[in-house]
């Protein structure tokens, strides 16, 4: 994800825009490319380039299998994405998981979802 950030024009637009976001870079072990994160909330929220947006939403949404608004808030607390609300709304609209609260997916470190994620993201999750 850090390497994708390096080529992402939206990140540079965010950084140069007059917004409340405060970007810093962090270096992760085994990664030569630093990860750009917003720190304006007191937490490190990585900027998510377009190719990783669905992966991130797909990672957050099953935690509670919540609706678009709650999924948007869950992602927003942890990451910076453009078109977040629209992407979460579309994702939730097309979610094929059953809506029963009994079907909530529980993540554990050994679950397969982590195997689909880029290495720097997995490291970041463990830092939270």
Q: How far is the CB of 82 from Zn ion (least distance, A)?
A: 22
Q: How far is the CB of 67 from Zn ion (least distance, A)?
A: 8
Contacts of 126 by beta carbon, 8 Å cutoff, 6+ apart: none
Alpha helix ranges (H) inside the chain: 2-6, 9-16, 53-64, 68-78, 84-93, 119-127
Give the CA distances from residue 37 to residues 21, 22, 41, 65, 68, in Å, rounded to whole numbers and listed in that order. 9, 8, 11, 26, 24
Q: Return the residue nearest Zn ion (CB atom).
A: 95
Q: How far is the CB of 40 from Zn ion (least distance, A)?
A: 29
Beta carbon nearer to Zn ion, 6 or 97: 97
Beta carbon nearer to Zn ion, 37 or 95: 95
Question: What residues line the site for Zn ion (CB under 5 A)?
Answer: 65, 95, 97
Beta carbon nearer to Zn ion, 39 or 97: 97
């Amino acid at each position: 994800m850090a390497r994708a950030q390096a080529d992402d024009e939206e990140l540079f637009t965010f950084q140069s825009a007059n917004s409340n976001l405060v970007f810093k870079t962090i270096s992760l072990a085994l990664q030569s490319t630093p990860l750009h994160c917003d720190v304006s909330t007191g937490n490190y929220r990585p900027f998510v380039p377009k190719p990783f947006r669905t992966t991130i939403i797909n990672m957050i949404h099953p935690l509670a299998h919540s609706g678009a608004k709650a999924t948007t808030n869950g992602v927003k607390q942890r990451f910076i994405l453009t078109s977040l609300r629209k992407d979460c709304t579309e994702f939730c609209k097309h979610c094929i998981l059953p809506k029963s609260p009994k079907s909530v997916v529980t993540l554990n470190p050994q679950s397969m979802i982590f195997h689909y994620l880029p290495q720097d993201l997995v490291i970041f999750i463990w830092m939270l």
